[in-house]
Structure 1
Amino acid sequence: MRVAELFASVMGPGSPVRVTAYDGSAEGPPDAELGLRVRSPRALAYLASAPGTLGLARAYVAGDLEIDGELYPLLDAFSEITLHSIPAARRRQLARTLIGHRLRHRAPIPEVEYRPPRGRLHSKRRDAGAISHHYDVSNLFYSWVLGPSMAYTCAVYPNAEADLETAQWTKHELVARKLGLRPGMRLLDVGCGWGGMVMHAAAEHGVKSLGVTLSREQASWARAEIERRGLGELAEVRHLDYRDVAETGFDAVSSIGLTEHIGKAQLPAYFARLYGKLKPGGRLLNHCITQPTAHAPDGVDPFIDRYVFPDGQLHGVGTLVTEMNAQGFEVRHEENLREHYAKTLAAWCENLDKHWEEAVREVGDQRARVWKLYLAACRLGFELNNIQLHQVLGVKLGERAASGMPLRPDWGS
């Protein structure tokens, strides 16, 4: 089997993608707008070593696979192996076909691939390493991708025409209103990133806000930005594990994009700890990526695990609601923002494309390729309902089960 034919067989019949290869072979429509170029035998060795998304990703990150045309529509055409694993029978067939390439051609694992250290999963030390791998890259690089808000979580679009900055402000305001923030309150934001929620609560609602993050680079940027905005009396960001926050008695806790890093076995302790940080009547807003069904596996795609969010785990919204309730929270509201995250990722893809040459100079070609692939694939994942984004609001009841909640939601649509 010639090389282009082999890759075309992986993509399946009727693919609109033109595959060309170093051996002169070609498959697919000659006038296709989308193309996949197999540049060297190492691409086959990568696919032999890991038949599926991980092998294809390694070949792309290393530069042995190249894309002609836009990446997102190619992934859409390639979605059955981009967002899922190749079926076991096909993997075995590929392994038999490719074993010679694996033996003859050395395919070193790209240097930007995460190599998990020894130690217990989700220990403080291991979590710190996983977070540093993804977030301690370059604040300048993140500013190009995320835009001025430096918000690295799903935005909320008030309408289809809204820009990314408006949508990120709207997201922070929605969280603030769901939490019922008012001047004089105290907010704890766990996994605070670059401090967007902390600064929003302080500037827009007069709330004394504490954020914590395991990323040293994020904390450094956030502290400088808090000072620049003159919010030092109300806002604070610490380089700290959320498990090590000593203060209690908060009026509200926000967790925006942290639960994905927690792990299923740690969920009871996670929600119990956040419950313990609240005063009676205090609210928790948990905002995180979720699995679309209760039966989906908790693990993330192998490419995402090795290159993007090491040790990450996703859970169904039912699991989150059950665990929150089990730890004492009364769950009052939840909503799925899946389409909003697809739009957010599309905006980040556009930002990266605009700054592509600068991004490559700043973080290197391999890491820039990781991001290009990850953002486009995740956009497709949300559009196809392979992943979702839920906000779940809970309250720690007060005396005689008083919730302090309005009779109907007062945070708008």
Structure 2
Amino acid sequence: MAESSVGAPLWRDRQFVLLFCARVISVLGNGFARVALAFAVLALPGTGVGGRLSLVLACQAVPQLVFILAGGVIADRVSRSRLMALADGLGACAYTGLAAMVLTRHAPLPAMCLLAALAGTATALFSPAMDGLVPLVVPTHRLQQANGLLRMGTNSSLLLGLALSGVTVAVVGAGWALALNAASFVVSAMLTGRLRITARPRRSTSGWTDLREGWHEFASRQWLWAVVAQYTVVVAALNANVGVLGPLAAEQHMGGARAWSVIVTAQALGTIVGAGVAARVRVDRPVLVAVLCTFPAAVPIALLSAEAPVWLVAVAMFCAGITGDVFGVLWATTIQREVPERALSRVSSYDWFGSLALAPLGLLIAGPIAAAVGTSHALAGCAALVVLATTAALLAPQVRSLGAEAGVSSEAAPPCRRL
């Protein structure tokens, strides 16, 4: 494994190992849940299962967007590790309830939607806290390595979870697969709860004041809002491709699900390699390099539009997976270095909110657009959106010029702190 250029390996740091194990186990369970929840809903008796599945998934996705800003405010006011443990507990309750309903085959739609919304709310609380916790666990000079190792571990874990989920659902059923995900949340909460992070000082300001302060920290950095605006478009285009248009193209021109499985697996393998590369690479202008790493995401979409062979699209997706995770690690590390620690989770929540703002719309309109103009033309439009949005981000001077150490301060990246 990679070692820091200064000091002992991160694997000897108990705090980092606890955080790493918690994330890997939780994401492994989420890999099971992605497949198990869909097949659990589809297996329930009654008609209209397709619409029922869409409703349940929407109830899970919407709270992630609606409550993400509140999650950032809370994470900057309380202990981030304890908030993450609480969020894991909520996730465990949600998936335990879903598993029980599936196993007993008594699953009223309102109850499933309520539990799915609880799971989405848990994610909204967890994500900003996680982004703000890493600088409290590792010192500044190891942030990039830590982010790379965390992403490499979680990407590998998600790939394993997705690979095993189909077998698990087939052998023991979707209900028990959901129960395994609930158990993974419990283990993650126990590990996260053992982190020793200094308690945050009480804030006398209101939540609205904290939210406005977070917006000021976000909006005052051109490089930050420019890239988030870029990814508002990019994520919508990528969601449309992976969720709707890509499978349609595979069905129409490549032989169906097996071809699409090869393509998405290649991308997943690329993300693992990319995280490993990003843990080691050193660049002078990380935001510029991160934005440039977005361009390859348009290549496999364009190849799908051109009805290229499966192997060529898979190679392009593998490369896009590599560059996508290089972006992710450089981006997370830059935010953690440049943004004051006291506001880090709020800024992260604005990042999440902006990046995901149009993601549901991308999924919603992809099908009708493909039906109106054809799948190939719709894919070409998605590829063009990725290129245009990325080119526009490069017009921002701070995106091109921000240096790796430009804004590092003791406040932005404090040393590891213990109780």
* TM-score (norm: length of structure 1): 0.27
Q: Which has the larger radius of gyration?
A: 1
Asked which structure has the greater RCO (Cα within 8 Å, sep 6+), the reply is: 2
* TM-score (norm: length of structure 2): 0.27
- Bigger fraction of residues in helix: 2
- Bigger fraction of residues in strand: 1
